[in-house]
Amino acid sequence: MNAQAALSPYSSSAGKTERRETHVLSVLVDNEPGVLARVVGLFSGRGYNIESLTVAEVAHLQGLSRITVVTSGAPETIEQISHQLERIVPIHTVTDLSLADAFVQRELAMIKVRGKGESRTEALRLAEAFRARVIDATTESFIFELTGAPKKIDDFVELMRPIGLVEVSRTGIAAITRGPLEM
Amino acid sequence: MSKIMTGAEMVVQALTDQGVTHLFGYPGGAVLPIYDALFHQTKVKHVLVRHEQGAAHAAEGYARSTGKVGAVLVTSGPGATNAITGLTDALMDSIPLVCITGQVPTHLIGSDAFQECDTVGLTRHCTKHNYLVRSIEDLPRILHEAFYIARSGRPGPVVIDVPKDVQFASGTYAPPKNIQHKTYQPQVKGDLAKIKQAVAMMAKAKKPILYTGGGVINAGPAASALLRELVQQTNFPITSTLMGLGAYPGSGPNWLGMLGMHGSYEANNAMHDCDLMICVGARFDDRITGRLDAFSPGSKKIHIDIDPSSINKTVAVDLAIIGDCGHVLEDIVRLWRTEAHQPDKKAMAAWWAQINKWRARNSFGYKKSDTTIKPQLAVERLYALTKDRDTYITTEVGQHQMWAAQHYKFEEPNRWMTSGGLGTMGYGLPAAIGTQLAHPDSLVIDIAGEASILMNIQELSTAKQFLAPVKIFILNNEYMGMVRQWQELLHGGRYSSSYSEALPDFVKLAEAYGMKGIRCSDPAQLDAAIQEMIDHPGAVIFDCLVDKAENCLPMIPSGKAHNDMILPDTGEDIGSVIDDKGKMLV
Ligand SMILES: Cc1ncc(C[n+]2csc(CCOP(=O)(O)OP(=O)(O)O)c2C)c(N)n1
Ligand SMILES: [Mg+2]
């Protein structure tokens, strides 16, 4: 939302907090055509943020997919996002993992680094420390595969930048609650 | 009772099985098989509109006045895009519609075929749900599911896009069963513990107010009856949104009039000063709340709504009850009675004394005139002469709409059809036709503006063809009055493109369609002229020439609070009341 709208007497509700939080929403959907467009369209249509979004089928027989969205906003806005998502007909459940007791999140990244000589060994040394795997190598480049929380990937990418970072491809996060119960 | 039939036959059979009596539509290449199936039967009457927007609004009028689902049939491409305004209107006002659109054959989808458009893509944002039917096996289920989704929960429009090859294909049709949808399960019963809490809050309140909305109308006539009982038992004052008019009678003793931007002084002040607000089936829309950080600052708020996303959307509430207004009101009324609550008599007397002081400002008042018809007078006289009849009112959008809401008193639900959320000029005439066809013996009046009526004027042909004796009562001020008023308010009275230039002669226009035309400009002749309109058995266009400069007051200017209204007796110079921030708003 632009600054003007934020100043509007119609949207600056009394009692709304200034606080911005980042939440991970786990959305279980019927795997039917258009369902992703409905979810993404909701975010763009109502001016909500998407920081990361992943989607894949998770139960083939039942035809279920899981969409994991990372979004940010005031807590009231995030509550509103969950309710708006619940209105979409082919959505089964919306779980705000950030409100759950504990959850784990992982992201996979492929990081291409170019370099020779000293910087090459430096890259390999750091990769080992981060437990990144080499999945492609030439005499002047590596591609590392790294899985972890987004922060860990950010850190690794920053370390690679001065060494010879070429480019990065990331999946966005998948997340799940800890413990024996379903989300 | 399964039967083999074509997709087109399934569509018509499903409409029949769902109790559809009138289907509003317009043919084209991609729906010809369905039109052919309609040709062979008599149960579903097809009403040929003259523009697909008209079909959607007519179905809205039909739906809102009957409580049933309105049905629409249009062709692919331009047929579908023309219907979009009506679908959006229905979404904003929670009106149940099922709109069937034709689509190019499956194998051509995505090829930019003639009259192809991405109907599900285009309508995703203006429907409650939509479907592209990919195979004949899915069609019967989707047809019945669409009706279920349209009418249950918070009602809304549903689009079914049916490719032409699916219309020709054969398959097995099954009639509707009790639908249990695997993901869509609206909650209708309210949480009893929360309802108990609400009743306890009501019993303690010293300055309570009921603020009701279209949700009560959507919950059916029983909900309105329960609301009346609750008001009667508690003696609480009650106001409602534009969409909620008629749930509580406009002549009832506890009625404060509509609230919001053009609502009454007493309703808005009571909302501002109350200590307990009970919102039933309304959504704290910006036309209602005015300035949010000054909205009813001292009150506890209870919100009853079937849509969880309405809760805390713009206004944070203290107690939220998710459920159908009818079910929740039933529990509240029962608990109030069995727990033998009594309102705090002393506090209520003081509260009513305060409200009566606000009432005495007579905020819907206006300067009378012997020479020109004041638009408010026109609505007042229309009300006086039609109130004892079986009357339904629709409107267009503008000042006339607000004057209708202020001065016409609705005694029953489902009698008032207006475009609230979207504010669609051109809604009133098609909606009147849809209403009239559902209630052939009733008096149906479209209170119109001279600008709005031209937006769907082609529907006069529909009225003529289907013998709908609608009365079009135009408050002709020769301006897009509401635009003119805002230009006076915000832009120094520079009336940029808001004069209704080059108007047709509305009397001759009526005559061109074989209808009756009446013109009146003299307050002394107004009653007789209205009576003539009522007595005429066919359709009438009434060109009521009213004061051209009248502003619609009272008004909460944009960016102001409920207790900061422009009143009619102080509203002479409205050009200086809105500050720069307020000017940004709509
Ligand atoms: C389709 C559409 N276009 C534009 C508007 C903006 N608008 C709101 S009221 C109005 C003027 C309506 O004029 P008229 O029908 O003569 O009614 P009056 O206000 O004069 O009673 C306009 C242009 C609208 N509401 N709908
Ligand atoms: Mg006008």
Cβ distance A9 to B585 less than 8 Å, yes or no, reads: yes
Asked whether the beta carbons of B52 and B28 are under 8 A apart, the reply is no
Lowest average pLDDT, out of B217-221, B472-476, B523-527, B568-572, goes to B568-572
**pLDDT by residue (tens digit) across A29-71?**
999 999 999 999 999 999 999 999 999 999 999 999 999 999 9
Contacts of B573 (CB under 8 A, 6+ apart): none
- Interhelix angle B399-407/B481-490, nearest 10 degrees: 100
Domain B375-545 grouped into CATH 3.40.50.970: yes
**CA-CA-CA-CA dihedral for B119, B120, B122, B123, to nearest 10:** 110
Residue B572: its pLDDT value, please? 61
Give the pLDDT confidence of B400-437 residue by residue, as tens digits.
Answer: 999 999 999 999 999 999 999 999 999 999 999 999 99
Ligand index nearest the alpha carbon of residue B480: 1
Contact call for residues B383 and B407 (beta carbons, < 8 A): yes
Q: What is the pLDDT of residue B119?
A: 98
Query: Closest Cα of chain B to A98: distance in Å?
Result: 19
Reply yes or no on domain B192-359 having CATH 3.40.50.170: no
Nearest CA to ligand 1 atom 11: B480
The beta-carbon neighbor of B292 closest among A10, A76, A87 is A10
B133: nearest CA in chain A? Answer: A33
Per-residue confidence (pLDDT) for residue B581, from 0 to 100:
75
Interval B201-215 mean pLDDT: 98
Q: Domain segments of chain A: what residues?
A: 18-99, 103-176
Q: What is the pLDDT of residue B351?
A: 98
d(CA B469, CA B441): 9
The SS3 of residue B538 is coil
Q: Are both A18-99 and A103-176 of the same fold?
A: yes
In one-letter notation, the amino acid at residue B40 is H
Ligand 1 midpoint to CA B450 (Å): 9
Q: Are the Cβ atoms of B581 and A90 closer than 8 angstroms?
A: no
Between the CA of B545 and the centroid of ligand 2 the distance, in Å, is 10
A128 in contact with B, Cβ within 8 Å: no
Of the listed ranges B171-180, B273-282, B292-301, B471-480, the least confidently predicted one is: B171-180
Q: In whole numbers, what is the pLDDT of chain B averaged over residues?
A: 96
- Give the Cβ contact number of residue B9 at 10 Å: 22
Contacts of A15 in chain B (CB under 8 A): 316
What is the per-residue pLDDT for B185? Answer: 93
Residue B369 to residue B547: CA distance in whole angstroms: 9
Per-residue confidence at A17, pLDDT binned at 50, 70, 90?
low
Residue with tokens 């509103």: A80
Give dist(CA A103, CA B14) in Å, integer: 47
In chain B, where the domains are located? 3-173, 192-359, 375-545
CB B199 within 8 A of CB B336: yes
Q: Are B417 and B86 in contact (CB under 8 A)?
A: no
Q: Is residue B379 predicted with pLDDT exceeding 70?
A: yes
Range in A95-104, B140-149, B300-309, B453-462 the model is least confident about: A95-104
At A1 the pLDDT is 32
Mean pLDDT of B173-185: 90
Over 90: is that where the pLDDT of B586 sits?
A: no
Rounded distance, CA A135 to CA A137, Å?
7
Closest CA to B542 of B524, B529, B560: B529
B164: its two tokens: 């032409």
* Inter-CA distances, B109 with B131, B161, B166, B317, Å: 14, 12, 13, 47
Closest approach of chain A CAs to the CA of B486, in angstroms? 18
Query: Which of B53, B262, B452, B552 for mutating ligand 1's site (highest number of atoms within 8 Å of CB)?
Result: B452
Higher pLDDT, B372 or B574: B372
HEC-encoded secondary structure of B157-203:
EEEEEEEHHHHHCEEEECCCCCCCCCCCCCCCCCCHHHHHHHHHHHH
The pLDDT value given to residue A11: 54
The CA angle A178-A180-A182, to the nearest 5 degrees, is 80
In the sheet that A64-73 helps form, which strands lie side by side, from edge to edge?
Answer: A52-59, A64-73, A21-30, A91-96
> What does the pLDDT read at residue A14?
46
CA distance B86 to chain A (A): 19
With pLDDT > 90 as the criterion, what percentage of chain B qualifies? 94
Better-scored residue on pLDDT, B304 or B2 = B304
- Strand, coil or helix: what is B280? strand
Of all residues in chain B, the percent with pLDDT exceeding 70 is: 99
B350 pLDDT exceeds 90?
yes
CATH fold for domain A18-99: Alpha-Beta Plaits (3.30.70)
- Which DSSP helix (H) or strand (E) runs through A78? helix A75-86
Main-chain dihedrals φ then ψ at residue B209, nearest 5 degrees: -150, 140
Cis peptide before B554 (omega within 30 of 0): yes
Cβ–Cβ gap B307/A80 under 8 Å: no
Give the closest of B120, B289, B309 to A80, CB-based: B309
pLDDT of residue B570 exceeding 90, the answer is no
pLDDT bucket at A4, cuts 50 / 70 / 90 = very low
Q: For residue B449, which atom of ligand 1 is closest to its CA?
A: 15
Shortest alpha-carbon distance between residue B128 and chain A (Å)? 8
Compute the distance from residue A183 Cα to the ligand 1 centre, in Å: 50
The pick from B89, B93, B454, B482 for probing ligand 1's pocket by mutation, whose C-beta has the most ligand atoms within 8 angstroms, reads B482
Residue B191 pLDDT > 70: yes
Residue nearest (by alpha carbon) to ligand 1 atom 3: B425
Distance of alpha carbon B228 from alpha carbon B220, whole angstroms:
13
For residues A111-138, give the mean pLDDT: 97
Q: For domain B3-173, give the CATH number.
A: 3.40.50.970
Bridge partner list, A22: A72
- Which of A1, A16, A40, A89 should be substituted to probe chain B, the one whose Cβ sees the most B Cβ atoms within 10 Å? A89
A vs B: CB pairs below 8 A: 74
Which residue is associated with the tokens 């069995």? B338
Q: B356 — phi, psi (to 5°)?
A: -65, -30
Residues written for chain B: 586
**Which residues make Cβ contacts (< 8 Å) with residue B100, sequence separation at least 6?**
B11, B31, B34, B71, B72, B73, B74, B159, B160, B162
> Class of the A103-176 domain?
alpha beta
DSSP state letters, B51-97:
SHHHHHHHHHHHHHHHSSPEEEEE-STHHHHHHHHHHHHHHHTT--E
Q: Which helix (H) or strand (E) holds B582?
A: helix B580-583
Cβ–ligand 1 contact at B481 (below 6 Å): yes
Is A5's pLDDT higher than 60? Answer: no
Residue A6 has pLDDT above 80, yes or no: no
Asked whether residue B230 carries a pLDDT value surpassing 60, the answer given is yes
Q: Which of B308, B86, B273 is nearest to B185 (CA)?
A: B308
Cβ-defined contact of A89 to B149 (cutoff 8 Å):
yes
